[in-house]
Each structure stands twice: as structure tokens, then as C-alpha cells.
Amino acid sequence: MAFTQIYVNLPVTDLDASTSFYLALGGVLNPQFTDETSAQVALGEVVTVQLMTHEQFGLFTSRPVVASGAIEAILALPAGSKEDVDRLADAAVKAGGSEPRPAQDMGWLYNRAVDDPDGHSWELLSFDASAMPGAPA
């Protein structure tokens, strides 16, 4: 069986601010799965982010929610070009996100890290696997 979609569920402290961040990344709000406790934002046809207040998120787990400032995962989103990475990262920062480190340009791979208002970390990247060191000629 191959998976065709991924739904990333994230606890957030400010639902409106987080929704604005993901819309700035080019996401599209799905009103069918959005209310005062949760917002669903599609980041394309394959990746969907479900933002939930901590109370709503807690209904799906008995484990404690990771405290703000901690990191549990870095999620990556490919963009079509270096210019697309810069455009998306700039829009994310303008919408309330932060950039925890400078851009990385390895020649074959360019990426920028952006954190949403709750510190969930995303890598926006563009790469050419054929130019990767050690790639088959």
C-alpha cells in the first residue's frame, strides 16, 4: 500500500495567527474542517495541516503536548526554485513566523528554515539531485 496524502496535526496557542502563517505559505483553508478550535489548511494536493488548539489536540492523545520552545520534528516542503523558497520564507516570516537560522546554499540544495508562531519547524527547499556530490553522471 502506498500513501497518497499526509495530514500533519499540530497543537497551536493562537489559531488565527497560525492559520495566517500557513495561508502565507500558499495554503488553502478548508472551511469544512475549520471551526473555533481547529483549522485545516491544504498545502497542495498531498500535504494538509490540521491546526488545533491545545484543548482540541488533547482530545486525540493522552500524552502531554510538547512545550513551546522544544522541537520534536522538522518537516520539509520542496519548492520549485531558489526564488520560490525565498518568496515562501519571506511570506512566512511576514505572517508571524520566524527564521531560526540563515539560508543554506550547498549548490545542489538551497533551503531556509521557518518556524510557525508556535515553533513548529519547516524546511523550505529546492534541489537538483543530479548535481548532488556523488550522484551518478
Strands (E), 81-130: 104-105, 109-115, 121-127
Cell numbers at 74, concatenated? 522538522
Verdict on whether the full-model pTM lies above 0.85: yes
Amino acid identity at 107: G
Q: For residues 48 and 26, what is the distance between their CA atoms, to the nearest angstrom?
A: 12
For 43-59, what is the mean pLDDT?
A: 95
Instruction: Report the DSSP beta bridge partners of residue 115.
Output: 98, 121
Predicted pLDDT at 131: 85
Q: Are strands 121-127 and 109-115 parallel, antiparallel or unpaired?
A: antiparallel
For 41-58, what is the mean pLDDT?
A: 95
For 48-57, what is the mean pLDDT?
A: 96
Predicted pLDDT at 62: 92
Lowest mean pLDDT among 72-76, 78-82, 93-97: 72-76
* pLDDT of 9 above 90: yes
Which domains are seen in the chain, by residue range? 6-63+72-131 (3.10.180.10)
Residues comprising the chain, all counted = 137
Q: For residues 14 and 130, what is the distance between their CA atoms, to the nearest angstrom?
A: 41
Predicted pLDDT at 69: 75
Q: Which residues of 85-96 are buried (b: 16+ CB within 10 A; e: fewer)?
A: bbebbebbbebe
Predicted pLDDT at 43: 96
